[in-house]
Amino acid sequence: MGRKVLITGASSGIGAELSRLFVEWGDTVIACARSFDKLDATAERLDSERFVPFSLDVTDITAVEKTVAEIEDLHGPIDLALLNAGTYSPTPAESFGASAVHTMMDVNVVGISNMLSVLMPEMMERGRGQLALMSSVAAYRGLPMAAGYSASKAAVIAMGESLKAELDGHGVKLQVICPGFVKTPLTEQNTFPMPYLMDVDDAARRIMKGLESSRFQIAFPRRFVFQLKLLQMMPDALYFPLIKKAIGL
């Protein structure tokens, strides 16, 4: 309690719910998103001085540098940064488009790297801090209809794995969050069955619990994670016939 928590993508979905929970815990939430109107509406609902909205496009490195500097000037060092801003569009082979993939890479990967490039040096210099990167169980194996999304979220895990050992040596805790299907505006566009679909409140509470643990990956729900991990270990000769059958090819 009493921490300064920065959350990107805080205007809706998991980011908005996490903001609410952290405020209830007594932390000060620096809520960042491109949609300031939605953040302002959340601020009115919470009616708490511990919810502080900032307009920020994480794909704009100049804006990231300026905004983080302003936040720390006004509120002091950030204790926990939850880099949650992300986007999703289906990318089936029949209508595959580079622009959709570029957008997902820009927000899901470049956006996180922009935030890290500003936040990590100061945390390392202080010898403390916590970083949480939002990935997905879709990163465990390339999934049909999700070429761009799976690729972007796999990149986030690889980025986290590459940085963790070095950050451990500087006293900075880094974790990667891998949720399954969660009821959010992003998943509303899916037209296929979503196994183990969970409410956003449930997902946010699992993330909160995971952030207090020593786990590198905060992955849930357990049964879905187990199934996808099995697919991850499965030889290609078995995986591709199985996945084609699953999607009716």
For the chain, helix, strand, coil in percent to 5 are 55, 15, 30
Q: Cα–Cα distance between 137 and 223 in angstroms, integer?
A: 12
* CA gap 167, 105 in Å, rounded: 24
pTM score of the predicted model:
0.94
- Asked if the 4-246 domain carries CATH number 3.40.50.720, the reply is yes
Residue-level pLDDT at 44: 86
Catalytic-labelled residue, pool 88, 149, 196, 239: 149
User: Over pLDDT 90: what percentage of the chain?
Assistant: 82
Whether 140 is a known active-site residue: answer: no
Is the predicted pLDDT of residue 83 greater than 70, yes or no?
yes
Report how far apart, in Å, the C-alpha atoms of 103 and of each of 63, 86, 90, 162, 183 are.
Answer: 18, 10, 12, 23, 22
Give the domain ranges of the chain: 4-246
Whether 1 shows a pLDDT value over 70: the answer reads: no
pLDDT, one tens digit per residue, over 176-228 is: 999 998 887 777 666 677 778 899 999 999 999 999 999 999 999 999 999 99
Q: Give residue-wise pLDDT tens across range 160-170.
A: 999 999 999 99
The predicted structure's pLDDT at residue 191: 66
Question: Which of 194 and 10 is assigned the larger pLDDT?
Answer: 10
* Predicted local confidence at residue 245, as pLDDT: 86
Q: Is the pLDDT reported for residue 36 higher than 90? A: no
- Give the pLDDT confidence score for residue 63 in this predicted structure: 98
Whole-number percent of the chain with pLDDT over 70: 97
Residue 52 has pLDDT above 80, yes or no: yes
> Which structure tokens are listed for 215?
């786990």
